[in-house]
């Protein structure tokens, strides 16, 4: 099954994505709001991996010209049902995005990178469509020593179930290395959901400071 078919089935479920709705919603909104406080309201902002558009609508509320992008047509159908305009785009982050260089002042990309095969290619594409000094706002599932020990002891089979969609597992160190290699300078970190050291997600705000660097060597 290819990725697009997988996510069409994923979004056809009645509950939709667990990354939206009740998952630390107010914390994630607060994180997004704080990360965009200094951004001029006339700049365009995009939610890459927008799902059914919860955070696109929130960016609207914050006063931005907001766009949403997702691989799944089913997800975008749900998004358009509550926000009737042409600001939603169907595209794959791993296959290149249909925007010119420097199209956006900020990108929100929440709970997406853990689903991506080529993380460097994805971050490089996000770098490309950002304005110089533009802001990338990310969240990924959190992994740290204490949490990983607890997962290994009590929830390994469930957490690393090969039938679910997570294929990448980031620590703060590995996420920072990927961002730096892809032309970003980290501005802020934030734990989201539950408390340290068992955060559900790790939030990061990063500024574009250069073009993306070389892709890391593939390890066999």
For 49-72, the pLDDT digits (tens) are 999 999 999 999 999 999 999 999
With respect to residue 135, please indicate whether it lies within any of the assigned structural domains: yes
With respect to residue 101, please indicate whether it lies within any of the assigned structural domains: yes
DSSP state of 159: H
Is the CB of residue 109 less than 8 Å from the CB of residue 51?
Answer: no
Question: How far from each other are the two terminal CA atoms of the chain, in whole angstroms?
Answer: 24
The per-residue pLDDT for 178 is: 96
Number of domains in the chain: 1
With respect to residue 216, please indicate whether it lies within any of the assigned structural domains: no
Beta strands at 201-208 and 130-141: parallel, antiparallel or unpaired: antiparallel
The per-residue pLDDT for 205 is: 98
With respect to residue 217, please indicate whether it lies within any of the assigned structural domains: no
Residue 66 CA, chain-centre distance (Å), reads 15
| CATH number of the domain that residue 179 is part of | 3.40.50.150
Q: What is the domain range of residue 61?
A: 3-208
120-145 CB burial, b ≥16 within 10 A, e <16: bbbbbbbbbbbeeebbbbbbbbbbbe
Residue 69 CA to residue 200 CA, distance in Å, equals: 24
Is the CB of residue 51 less than 8 Å from the CB of residue 80?
Answer: no
The per-residue pLDDT for 20 is: 53
Is the CB of residue 105 less than 8 Å from the CB of residue 39?
Answer: yes
With respect to residue 76, please indicate whether it lies within any of the assigned structural domains: yes
The structure tokens listed for 20 are 């939206």
With respect to residue 220, please indicate whether it lies within any of the assigned structural domains: no
Contacts of 51 (CB under 8 A, 6+ apart): 11, 16, 17, 19, 20, 70, 72, 75, 78, 79
With respect to residue 214, please indicate whether it lies within any of the assigned structural domains: no
Mean pLDDT per block of 10 residues along the chain (220 residues) reads 64 58 83 96 94 93 95 90 81 93 97 93 97 96 89 87 86 96 97 93 97 72
The per-residue pLDDT for 88 is: 94
Closest to 178 measured CA to CA, from 127, 107, 220 = 127
- Mapped onto helix, strand or coil, the DSSP state of residue 45 is strand
With respect to residue 219, please indicate whether it lies within any of the assigned structural domains: no
Give the pTM.
0.89
């Amino acid at each position: 099954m290819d990725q697009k078919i997988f996510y069409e089935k994923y979004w056809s479920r009645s509950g939709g994505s667990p990354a939206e709705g009740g998952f630390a919603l107010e914390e994630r909104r607060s994180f997004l709001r704080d990360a965009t406080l200094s951004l001029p309201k006339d700049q365009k902002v995009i939610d890459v991996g927008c799902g059914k558009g919860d955070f696109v609508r929130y960016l609207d509320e914050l006063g931005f010209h907001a766009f949403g992008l997702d691989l799944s047509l089913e997800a975008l159908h749900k998004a358009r049902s509550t926000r009737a305009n042409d600001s939603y785009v169907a595209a794959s982050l791993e296959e290149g995005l249909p925007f010119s260089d420097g199209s956006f002042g900020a990108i929100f990309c929440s709970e997406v990178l853990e689903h991506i095969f080529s993380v460097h290619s994805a971050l490089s594409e996000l770098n490309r469509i950002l304005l110089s000094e533009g802001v990338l706002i990310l969240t990924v599932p959190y992994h740290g020593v204490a949490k990983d020990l607890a997962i290994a002891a009590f929830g390994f089979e469930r957490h690393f179930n090969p039938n679910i969609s997570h294929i990448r597992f980031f620590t703060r160190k590995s996420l920072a290395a990927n961002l730096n290699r892809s032309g970003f300078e980290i501005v802020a970190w934030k734990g989201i959901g539950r408390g340290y050291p068992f955060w559900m997600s790790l939030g990061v705000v990063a500024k574009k400071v250069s073009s993306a660097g070389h892709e890391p060597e593939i390890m066999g």
